[in-house]
């Protein structure tokens, strides 16, 4: 199929992690696809940045994610082969917490249910093997050798380049203002530069997605996050070869971190950083002293070798669903519109397979991937 004028098979709103992958998978199928991004490709205004993003096979959030993460690994490796961009780095992963906590127990359950290679370590054993760690006494840790990180900016560039090579059109610095259904069952998309008509639409605009779909009101809520990079006294201890990515539950909260890569400093973040629900068009984007303090405190307590000078602070956004599971579906009143939203701070690792799923939903209205737990209908009985 070929576009005539400004008519396309599919328009994708948002060309970040999910949207770039969707644009690629659609173009690879021979469809005429237009990707629209209001900022740069890539950019630092939303959720698809931060230099490194964790990927892990052990999944404490729910074992149902395991088939999707297996496919995501395959697609990340395939993207690297196709583009020559090294987007996936395996460092191993640590999921640790006190007895009974979901971070450790859930990860262990997922590994046992899906026969994923893993080891269970004590705090002391973690430190002996990986000296950068000083986990609390009594914590248990699950080590999984396939964990690591995805490089978000490179993955977006790779997906966009591959999409363009397959015939996709991608336009940055073009803001979508609204869309509406057409009489023939398609969509009309209005931007600050023009009007486009398509058979199908994909909404993958991150923290802005809820502004384009009434069905997502209260279901895809943006939250301000801050990441920190702190300089270790012995950087080699926190290099990718010596320091697995990690998730950790401690009295201060639930935190995650990654080794030094590409920029100075060991990286750390806190889930639901300061519990700040925000409007993505109007929030404090400059990190504050309190943001730095709560991150540094945990570095000092559990990774003291990395508690040197602050190298970098950066804001981003989570978009949380009520149950913190993804939203992947078509809109109830507009089946020609597919949505990917509510990734709740743990979605980027899945971007490669989310793109495949959203392409399926846009073209076929359904997918062979197991997404039953991510459908919008699960919220139908909300009081």
Question: Torsion-angle region of residue 137: left (phi > 0), alpha (psi -120 to 50) or beta?
Answer: beta
Q: Exactly one of 22, 23, 52, 83 is catalytic; which is it?
A: 52
Q: Does the annotation mark 315 as catalytic?
A: no
Phi, then psi, of 13 in degrees rounded to 5:
-95, 115
* Catalytic-labelled residue, pool 49, 211, 224, 325: 49
334 counts as catalytic: no
Catalytic position from the list 91, 316, 330, 346 = 316
**Among candidates 43, 48, 22, which has minimal Cα distance to 317?**
48
- Among 25, 53, 159, 273, which one carries the catalytic annotation? 53
CA atoms within 13 Å, Cβ hemisphere of 181: 11
The 8-class DSSP code of residue 277 comes to B
Question: Which of 272, 312, 369, 378 is flagged as catalytic?
Answer: 272
- Any catalytic annotation for residue 310? no
- Alpha carbon distance, N-terminus to C-terminus of the chain: 45
Q: How many other CB atoms sit within 10 Å of the CB of residue 265?
A: 21
Dist CA 366 CA 212 (whole Å):
21
Q: How far apart are CA 135 and CA 42, in angstroms?
A: 35
Indicate if 49 belongs to the active site: yes
Residue 270 catalytic?
Answer: no
- 25, 224, 334, 349: the catalytic one is 349
Rg from Cα positions in the chain: 21
Coil, helix or strand for 366?
coil
CA distance 127 to 132: 7
- Whether 267 sits among the annotated catalytic residues: the reply is yes
* Residue among 25, 57, 267, 346 flagged as catalytic: 267
Do 254 and 270 form a contact (C-beta atoms < 8 A)? yes
Q: Identify whether 52 is a catalytic site residue.
A: yes
Sign of CA dihedral 154, 373, 222, 363: positive
Separation of alpha carbons 381 and 383, rounded Å: 6
Positions marked active-site: 49, 52-53, 267, 272, 316, 349
């Amino acid at each position: 199929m070929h576009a005539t004028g400004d008519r396309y098979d599919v328009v994708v709103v948002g060309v970040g992690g999910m949207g770039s992958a969707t644009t690629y998978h659609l173009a690879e199928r021979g469809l005429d696809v237009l990707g629209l991004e209001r900022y740069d490709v890539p950019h630092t205004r939303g959720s698809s940045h931060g230099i490194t993003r964790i990927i892990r096979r052990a999944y404490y959030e729910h074992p149902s994610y395991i088939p999707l993460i297996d496919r995501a690994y395959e697609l990340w490796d395939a993207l690297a082969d196709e583009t020559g961009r090294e987007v996936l780095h395996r460092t191993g992963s640590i999921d640790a917490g006190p007895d009974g906590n979901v971070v450790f127990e859930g990860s262990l359950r997922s590994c046992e249910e899906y026969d994923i290679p893993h080891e269970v370590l004590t705090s002391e054993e973690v430190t002996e093997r990986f000296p950068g760690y000083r986990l609390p006494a009594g914590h248990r840790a699950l080590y999984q050798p396939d964990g690591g990180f995805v490089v978000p900016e490179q993955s977006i560039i790779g997906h966009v380049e591959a999409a363009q090579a397959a015939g996709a059109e991608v336009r940055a610095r073009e803001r979508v203002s609204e869309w509406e259904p057409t009489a023939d069952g398609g969509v009309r998309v209005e931007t600050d530069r023009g009007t486009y008509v398509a058979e199908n639409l994909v909404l993958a605009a991150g923290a802005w997605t809820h502004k384009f779909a009434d069905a997502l009101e209260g279901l895809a809520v943006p939250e301000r996050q801050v990441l920190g990079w702190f300089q270790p006294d012995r950087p080699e201890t926190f290099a990718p070869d010596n320091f697995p990515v990690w998730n950790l539950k401690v009295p201060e909260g639930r935190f995650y971190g990654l080794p030094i890569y590409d920029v100075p400093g060991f990286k750390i973040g806190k889930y639901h950083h300061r519990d700040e629900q925000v409007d993505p068009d109007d929030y404090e984007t400059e990190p504050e002293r309190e943001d730095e303090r709560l991150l540094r405190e945990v570095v000092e307590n559990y990774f003291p070798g990395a508690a040197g000078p602050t190298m970098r602070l950066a804001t981003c956004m989570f978009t949380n669903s009520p149950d913190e599971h993804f939203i992947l579906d078509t809109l109830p009143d507009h089946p020609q519109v597919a949505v990917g939203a509510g990734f709740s701070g743990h979605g980027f690792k899945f971007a490669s397979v989310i793109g495949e799923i959203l392409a399926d939903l846009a073209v076929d209205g359904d997918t062979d991937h197991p997404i039953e737990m991510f459908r919008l209908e699960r919220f139908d009985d909300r009081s």
